[in-house]
């Protein structure tokens, strides 16, 4: 793990300690609209501050909450809290997302952390995705789960027509509400499907962790699967939906 990823890991540890030691009621309050379009919570802003303090020396930080925060040759894209509605609802599926692009715009490093379960996923250029626990110094390659029976459909609530088609085709899924985390888990489920406007904050780090999988991205949806047949079937379903059939 290089210096940037070590700093990102350190920041995640600090964020975990912070959100589990402060008065959570004070963090539930909504603030102004962030650069990504959502209303920021106290959790978002507290996590953003910690990331900035740990990562600003590595490059320009672009956050979902505050937009571009400083200057630098490299670009660091962060979603301080992935699954903001989940954390304020005490639903244990929320975390952080960090990706670093070099001066040529090539993604070099990425880390996604589930703060609820302490699971950490990371990847560096020319390497394979790694997995471990937040406070344990042990890392393993993220292996594919060939026994999975469900996929993940993010924003299913906003796409009832597609939900009905998946049901009719007996395609099982869950919709937990944190796209970067869901992409990090792509090797463990049948598929990850996201239907809606694609924002860089949501997908940069998560897609980096999907290296080697079937990845299909259009302007308004993304499909990831370890199985080419599944990704192809989902693409046909979504494409027909957008065509109005």
Which CATH number belongs to the domain containing residue 124 in this structure?
3.30.540.10
pLDDT per position as a tens digit, 160-177 = 999 999 999 999 999 999
Same domain, residue pair 123 and 235: no
Q: Are residues 135 and 37 located together in one domain of the fold? A: yes
Number of domains the chain is built from: 2
Q: Residue-wise over 133-172: b if at least 16 C-beta within 10 A, else e? A: ebeeeeeeebeeeeebeebbbbbbeebeebbebbeeeebe
pLDDT at 57: 95
pLDDT of residue 31: 53
Residues 107 and 199 in one domain: no
pLDDT tens per residue across all 245 residues of the chain: 899 999 999 999 999 998 888 766 656 555 544 444 454 567 888 899 999 999 999 999 999 877 788 888 999 999 999 998 898 888 999 999 999 999 888 999 999 999 999 999 999 987 899 999 999 989 999 999 999 999 999 999 999 999 999 999 999 999 999 999 999 999 999 999 999 888 888 899 999 999 999 999 988 899 999 999 999 999 998 887 776 54
Same domain, 87 and 136: yes
Residue 56 sits in the same domain as residue 155: no
pTM for this entry = 0.89
Which domain CATH number covers 214? 3.40.190.80
φ/ψ of 115, rounded to 5, equals: -70, -20
* Spatial separation of the C-alpha atoms in residues 117 and 107, rounded to whole Å: 26
Please give the angle made by the CA atoms of 127, 102 and 216, to the nearest 5 degrees. Answer: 60
The reply to whether 127 and 175 lie within a common domain is no
Domain end point (choices 141, 174, 209): 141
Asked whether residue 146 is domain-assigned, the answer is: no
> Within this chain, do residues 114 and 24 fall inside the same structural domain, yes or no?
yes
Asked if residue 114 and residue 192 are part of one domain, the reply reads: no
Q: What is the CA angle 234-238-243, rounded to 5?
A: 145
What is the C-alpha to C-alpha distance for residues 192 and 189, in angstroms, rounded to an integer?
8
Give residue 76's domain range: 3-141
Residue 132 located in a structural domain: yes
β-strands 173-174, 192-195: how paired?
A: unpaired
170 and 230 housed in the same domain: yes
Residues 11 and 96 in one domain: yes
């Amino acid at each position: 793990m290089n210096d940037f990823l070590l700093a990102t890991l350190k920041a995640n540890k600090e964020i975990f300690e912070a959100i589990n030691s402060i008065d959570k009621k004070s963090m539930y309050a909504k603030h102004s609209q962030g650069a990504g379009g959502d209303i920021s919570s106290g959790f978002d802003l507290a996590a953003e501050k910690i990331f900035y303090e740990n990562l600003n020396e590595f490059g320009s930080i672009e956050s979902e909450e505050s937009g571009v925060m400083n200057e630098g040759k490299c670009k660091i894209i962060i979603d301080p809290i992935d699954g903001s509605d989940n954390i304020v609802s005490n639903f244990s599926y929320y975390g952080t997302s960090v990706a670093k692009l070099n001066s040529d715009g090539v993604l070099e490093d990425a880390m996604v952390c589930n703060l609820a379960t302490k699971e950490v996923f990371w990847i560096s250029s020319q390497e394979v995705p790694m997995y471990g626990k937040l406070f344990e110094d042990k890392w393993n390659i993220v292996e594919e789960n060939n026994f999975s029976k469900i996929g993940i459909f993010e924003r299913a609530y906003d796409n009832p027509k597609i939900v009905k088609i998946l049901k009719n085709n007996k395609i099982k899924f869950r919709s937990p509400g944190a796209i970067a985390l869901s992409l990090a888990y792509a090797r463990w489920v049948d598929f990850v499907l996201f239907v809606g406007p694609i924002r860089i904050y949501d997908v940069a780090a998560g897609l980096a962790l999907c290296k080697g999988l079937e990845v299909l991205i259009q302007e308004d949806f993304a499909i990831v699967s370890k199985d080419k047949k599944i990704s192809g079937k989902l693409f046909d379903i979504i494409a027909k939906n957008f065509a109005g059939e």
